Amino acid sequence: MAWRINEAVVRGEFDNRMRGRVTGRIWFVGRADPVTLELKGNCWRAGAGRRLEFSNPEPKPGDIGKLAARQQGVVGDITASRKVKVPEIPLEQIGEYYAAKKPWPWHWGNSLYLEWFSERNGRVVIETASFDLKIVGEAVWEMSPAEEEEQRRANAEAMGGFMEQIGEAVAREKAKEEEPAEWDERPQTEAEAEQMQERSDRLTDRIQARLVREGKGADYEKILHEEIERMREEHGEPEPTPEQLARNAEWIEEMNRAGEEALNDPELQKELDQKHPLAERAFELSLRLCRAVRAGRWVPAGASPEHPVAELEGAVMGAGAKLAGALNGCEWPPLLDASAGVIVRLKRARAISTTPCGQPKPAAKTN
């Protein structure tokens, strides 16, 4: 799911003049103070090293009450040069043209696409071709093609991590529905954690496969909903009852409250920002490997994904992501309630990193 907030935007600014960091402010209809952004990563090449200002000529009130005032996280795709078809007629008339099987007039235009993954709100997107845009000043630094490729890979990893979180949340809710009441207080077993992780991975693999197949026009929210429903049907699970839906809504509210409390708790924020040394070393290794592969041109253009170097690069990145998910943002050693999940993720990281390149791997369950 994504927060699509462009209609309520009045104006805003993004600043990527410092490498590896994007900051900004966005003003919304009905909110006196701007939402601030503190994100790790870089814009795409056209916006890297620059400061961008934008304004909405026709802002409208929107449902942004739960959008946190301080957005911290990582960048997704951020560009002001994505080409899109811009209708030359009011949007409400497009349906009439479609019903009459008449092509509607349009022209190519630049779309502003701002995507980030917030620790508080998850995936947030501003996508529009109607904003007024202005690049302020000259670029402080320029992004090379190799650096842009590296940033795109990091963006894909951020999206994968976000989808993995969704998959885990869905799996946790399902596990809660199936557990007898007397089990509510006992820690999760390793077998239960493995089952939940397997379900999460399968959902993530399916969503990623469809995003690749359907390309730039893929509707992420639609795909997510369809794949969750598909998994429910495969397991012979009935549609959620009103009581279950109410409980899910209550759970979401609890998570929102917990998030608000976390934002105001410096000690908890410090704990969540903790990076485990092993996860940090794995991340740095993946960056060095990516740069070396690009600089040395170790993977020929048009090479198969099964190319040994490409497989090695993917394995290192995958293992690093699993290590980060298992070790970052929590105290060590882990609490008993979290131990089973940590063990499962560490085993997954080891399995990814020790699979010989060029050897067959278990097929992803994406069908």
Nearest residue to 44 (alpha-carbon basis) of 72, 14, 73: 14
CA separation (Å) from 73 to 158, 170, 244?
10, 22, 31
Consecutive sets of 10 residues in the chain, 367 residues long: mean pLDDT of each?
A: 81 91 93 91 85 92 84 81 63 69 68 80 82 88 79 64 55 51 64 81 76 68 77 77 72 62 60 75 80 79 75 78 76 78 82 60 47
Q: Which of 346, 347, 312 is nearest to 328 (CA)?
A: 346
From the CA atom positions of the chain, what is the Rg in Å?
Answer: 22
Residue reference for tokens 């509510």:
184
- What is the C-alpha separation between 105 and 136, in angstroms, rounded? 32
User: Could you give the C-alpha distances from 337 to 186, 272, 342, 345, in angstroms and in order?
Assistant: 8, 17, 10, 14
CB 150 within 8 A of CB 32: no
What is the Cα–Cα distance from 47 to 63, expressed in whole angstroms?
28
Structure confidence at residue 365 (pLDDT): 47
Residue 196's pLDDT is: 80
pLDDT value for 41: 83
**Which residue, among 306, 322, 319, has the nearest Cα to 359 in the 3D structure?**
306
Where are the domains positioned within the chain?
Answer: 3-143, 149-354
pLDDT score for 360: 47
| Dist. CA 355–CA 276, nearest whole Å | 24
pLDDT confidence of residue 164: 58
232 sits in which H/E element: helix 220-234
